[in-house]
Every structure is written in C-alpha cells, then in structure tokens.
Amino acid sequence: MTTQPDRYAVFGHPVGHSLSPRIHGWFAAQTGEAMVYTAIEAPLEGFEAAVRAFFADGGRGANVTVPFKAEASALADCRDPAAERAAAANTLRVEADGRIAAFNTDGIGLVRDLEGRLACRLEGATVVMLGAGGAAAGVIEPLLARGVGRLVIGNRSPARAVELADRFADLGPVAAESMAGLPPADILINATAASLDGSVPELAPGLVGSQTLAYDMVYAAQPTAFLLRCAELGARRTVDGLGMLVEQAAEAFRLWRGVLPDTAPVFARLRPSSTAE
C-alpha cells in the first residue's frame, strides 16, 4: 500500500498571488519530505469552515494570510506565546490528539532575515516601525527579545500604535509616537499595507538618514514607493519583505516537519538578481 503525502495549504483571500506553494514545494524537495502544499481561497465569511473542512479531510497544517490571521489564532485550541500576544497566527498545525495549535512565525522570519541574510545588528539599535496591524503585532516580541535599544511605533491611526505599545510594554523598551515625531531610525520597518496601493506613509523629517536600513514588509518585483522614497532620503540600504516571507515559511516548515530547510537557495530562486541587492 502506498502512503499518501501529508497535505498542507495556505488560506487567504485573495491567495492566487501567494508564493508559498512554490516555497514549500522547494523546501520539501530539498529535505526529502513527502508532502503536498496548495493554495486555498476561503470566502471572506467562511475561513473557519474552510480550514476545519481541510483538516477533517486529512490536512496536517496550514499557513494563513490576509485577512484571516486573527481568526486563525482565535479558532485554535492552543497558541504559542507569539500568536497569543499578537492575537494573530500565520501557521496552524494539527496535533496528534487532533487539537489545532496556532503559531506566529512572522517575527522570527523578520529577525532571521535582518540578522542572517542582511547581517544587521539589532542589539542596541533604534528600530522604528510604521503600522499597527497584525503584521506589526507579530514582530514586536522577537525584536524586543533581540535586545533592540528601543522600538518606536507610529501609525496613521495613532490610538492603535498606543494600544500596541502598551500591550508589549512589559517585554522591553517599546513606545508609541506620532508619525510626525518619530526619531532617526537605524532600522525603519514599514509594516503598513501602504505599498500595496503604491502610497508612502508620512516620513518625519530626520527619520531616514545615512545610518538607516529601510525595510518594507511588502515585497514586489520592483522597489516599492516607500523604498524609493527612503533611498532618495539617503538610506544606506533598502530591502523588501521577500526574505521575511521565505524565513517565516521555513519556520512553519520546521514546526510541521521537524526540519529547518536551507532558505538561501530558495531566496535565490525567487530573486535571481539577489547577489546585486
């Protein structure tokens, strides 16, 4: 009798653009894991039903993307500390006893991309983050755990930045600031969705300088408007979120399969020009 490969999927709406099936396909080939990974577009009002049907049909795990990360965390039977505090999960795993466990690997993905591929020192750094949505919430704890000097959050709707900073304040030096009052950044992270419609969040005078690494969580074939603006303002380096995507996927793969794949060849396949970055 032949054994069927374990099944995984990414759920989103829309999800057709997702690179996750290719990334996990390459991870599986690299590590020799017997699995298949597909993309499933859940109806906006039907995420929980869709993911439960997938698991009832034998699915072993799932990635979850916009706009379902909060629902993914809420439907799980248990959560890792990152998903618990962020109230958002990007990874689900069916446990041996059938319970659904939720994880948030976005923060690990960002930190690994910054410290690993980009050789960026987080310890003691002034990190400024624009945005206070699910993606921002998911990366605060890992950034604080790396010993950043301070993490300052600015958001178009200021009350959301204040709420987020308050939620994590017991973990380290995190504070909210008005967009106009943000300090000079060693690392400036755009965790807003502004780049999806080609807009640029307000950038305070002095926020970007020659010491700044500007990082846009959004990834695209061409530099985003945010990254172009930061380059104009003299940023020493501008980087998009493709590396974060690959790293968060690798951590999800490890949670499911117990083996951490090598991300460098996968990143290079997705962006053959990366040696010039």
Q: Name the residues that contact ligand NDP, by CB under 6 A.
A: 66, 106, 109, 131-136, 155-157, 160, 191-194, 196, 199, 201, 217-219, 241, 244-245, 248
The number of C-alpha atoms within 13 Å of 172 and in the hemisphere containing its C-beta is 17
Evaluate whether 239 touches 217 at the Cβ level (below 8 Å): no
Alpha-carbon torsion, ordered 127, 130, 132, 135, to 10 deg: -80
Cβ of residue 218: shortest distance to ligand NDP, in angstroms?
Answer: 5
The number of residues in the chain equals 277
Which of 6/106 has CB closer to ligand NDP? Answer: 106
Rounded to 5 degrees, what are φ and ψ at 147?
A: 80, 30
Which of residues 6 and 18 has its CB atom nearest to ligand NDP in the complex? 18
Contact 45, 63 (CB under 8 A): no
* Residue 150: strand pairing partners: 126
Closest distance to ligand NDP from the beta carbon of 139 (Å): 9
DSSP-assigned states of every residue in 124-142: T-EEEEE--SHHHHHHHHH
Q: Which residues are catalytic?
A: 69
CB of 244 to ligand NDP, least distance (A): 4
In the complex, which residue's CB is closest to ligand NDP? 133
Which CB, 51 or 135, lies closer to ligand NDP?
A: 135
- B/e letters for 42-79, b = 16+ CB within 10 Å, e = fewer, are beeeebeebbeebbeeebbbbbbbeebbbbbbebbeeb
Residue number, 80 or 106, with CB nearest to ligand NDP: 106
Rounded least distance, CB 134 to ligand NDP, Å? 4
